[in-house]
Amino acid sequence: MKRTEMAMFTRSGSRMTSVNEKTGRTKWANVEETVATARRVKEVVRKLTKI
């Protein structure tokens, strides 16, 4: 995700509230999770492209 998309996603709390109610986590925790997963995906892609 791009930074602008991330900012838009955090601003639109309505999208995240449903997820937060189920998991009981804060919005920021979810944002950090998505960022962490995005980094993992990028790392995997880099490894695959190098081979």
The pTM (predicted TM-score) of the whole model is: 0.38
Rounded Cα distance between 29 and 3, Å, is 17
Rounded Cα distance between 43 and 49, Å, is 10
Residue 7: the pLDDT is: 53
Residue 22: the pLDDT is: 56
| pLDDT tens readout for residues 2-15 | 555 555 555 555 55
- What tokens were used for 37? 């997963």
Mean pLDDT by 10 residues, the chain (51 residues): 53 52 62 85 89 68
Give the Å distances, CA to CA, from 26 to 8, 43, 49: 17, 26, 35
All residues at 6 or more sequence positions from 27 whose CB lies less than 8 Å from its CB, including other chains = 10, 13, 16, 20
Can you give the residue ranges of every domain in the chain? 3-50
